[in-house]
Structure 1
Amino acid sequence: MSSEKIATRLYIEQDLRAGATIGLDHSQAHFLRSVLRLEAGVSLGVFNGRDGEWRAEIEAIGKGWVSLLVHEQRRPQERSQDLWLVFAPVKRARIDFIAEKATELGVSRLQPVLTRYTDVSRVNCDRLAATTKEAAEQCERLDLPDVREPITLPRLLETWPSERRLLLCAEAGDATPITEALQKIAGAPGPLAAMTGPEGGFAPTELDALMQLPFVTPVSLGPRILRADTAALAALTCCQSMLGDWKRRPAFRT
């Protein structure tokens, strides 16, 4: 494991190995040269979600291009927590916020779901993917969450893997506080997902359909009415603190 100081971290698509030379795309080259004003000889951290994180050195740099030389591995690849977030899309700034913070909180999949009261019908998944990449670079993740195309609620439930427990964050009358539900789940851990609805909540027929499914556990997020983006992050925080990877040692920083 290398402890050499690095200037920044970048997600790249190419395979990583000692001695490899990598050419960056125009946007990453512009970021290093014109935003960070880096020069040849500076060390970076690079990762691709498969090969761990490696130290790479800027071999040469010019207008619109950068060549990197890969040296040694800084961290081996780790598997992220198998935690999905299923959420009703909200307006642009707030959906970007959800994607950014959910990445920082360690989700493995972001699944927008279209419900009856969802106001947003189109989701720019390319922009969401770019947001998750930037967040992963900043928070020292070694991979990116899987950003899925929006799907209707009925279709989501038709294709749902029955072994994955779904925490339904809805103020239903018999909803259990999320911390109590997670304590019960801790005895039989398995794949987990949290689901939040739109600002207007789920339609009664949607709630009825969800409550009948054996893999759904309705949970409450407390006595206050939370906005959709707040609810999503509150649910993820509870999941990670009680069943997730928050008990691991913090990542090293140099």
Structure 2
Amino acid sequence: MARADFLSTRLFVEAPLAAGAEIEATRDQANYLLNVLRKRAGDGLLVFNGRDGEWRAVVADADRKRCRLAVEAETRPQTPVPDIDFLFAPLKHARLDYGVQKAVEMGAGRLRPVMTRRTQASRVNLDRMRANVIEACEQCGVIAVPSVLETAEFGALLDRWPVEEPGRRIVFCDEGDAGANPLPVLSALPRGPLAVLIGPEGGFSEEERARLRAAPFVTAIPLGPRILRADTAAVAALAVVQAVLGDWQ
């Protein structure tokens, strides 16, 4: 597998990518390339769209407010999106941005906010979430762009899960678990589609915990002997799941 180039500027584009294609950068992208990075005609960068792999491109034409890119050659082929969902009770503002970006870096393939009884945020800006997903992909060499799914209510999500996600096991981080080491629990699970569920600040309610523990498609894991904030727990949980059952193998 070709290694990511972490020195070159990377830009997500919507247009199809192929040798010889020309892409008109958006106004914001043109401003970033020309006025922030000071790119000029002939300067190179990498472009990707989540479908056609990663390609080398050059600034073909530019003025103060517009920029056209010429696609030259593929640098890395398209890879599939990781088969791990990240389900989380949304936090507020900057901590939500952080959590989304870290989930992408840790290899989540789909992200879905879940409203629980103790969720802090009353609504989620999905467009902002998608922007954070793309920013994380651009910065970390990710080619397969994760999708952002509509917000779900906790009870309805569990009701629909066996029908909408047959065969996908939910691993939920149970702050009330008496254990400390998640590895034995994860090691006993068969490989297959997974979803990692992170609760809100303050944890799941007792009713929510009881429902999760009773569901045959849910496995509870501890995350060590200390209390973790929700955004820290997300990174820790995705790390151990990837190490035992994911693409870190």
Shorter-normalised TM-score: what interval? over 0.9
Residue 64 of structure 2 corresponds to residue 63 of structure 1: yes
Tell me the amino acid that sits aligned with residue 136 of structure 1.
C
Contact 2:168 2:192 in 1 (8 A): yes
In structure 1, list runs of 5 or more residues that go unmatched.
Answer: 248-254
Taking structure 1 as reference, are residues 198 and 41 closer, same or farther at Cα in structure 2, changes over 3 Å only?
Answer: same
Tell me the amino acid that sits aligned with residue 24 of structure 1.
A
Q: Secondary structure in 2 aligned to 1:232? A: helix
Deviation string for 1:4-40 (max 9, x for gaps)?
9973011111101111111010111110001101101
Contact 2:177 2:221 in 1 (8 A): no
Taking structure 1 as reference, are residues 173 and 235 closer, same or farther at Cα in structure 2, changes over 3 Å only?
Answer: closer
Match of 1:202 in 2: 204
How do 1:219-230 residues align onto structure 2 when only pairs under 5 Å count?
A: 219-230=221-232
What is the Cα deviation at residue 181 of structure 1?
Answer: 1.8
Root mean square deviation, CA, Å: 1.9
Match of 2:166 in 1: 162
TM-score (norm 1): 0.91
Residue 116 of structure 2 corresponds to residue 115 of structure 1: yes
**Separation in 2 of the partners of 1:171 and 1:6?**
40
Match of 2:90 in 1: 89
Further displaced range: 5-14 or 78-87: 5-14
Taking structure 1 as reference, are residues 150 and 18 closer, same or farther at Cα in structure 2, changes over 3 Å only?
Answer: same
Further displaced range: 218-227 or 171-180: 171-180
TM-score (norm 2): 0.93
Match of 2:186 in 1: 182
Q: Secondary structure in 2 aligned to 1:190? A: coil
Further displaced range: 174-183 or 209-218: 174-183
In structure 2, list runs of 5 or more residues that go unmatched.
Answer: none
Residue 145 of structure 2 corresponds to residue 127 of structure 1: no
Deviation string for 1:114-149 (max 9, x for gaps)?
001112111111111111101101111102211122
- Runs of 4+, deviation exceeding 6 Å: 1-6
**Separation in 2 of the partners of 1:144 and 1:40?**
28
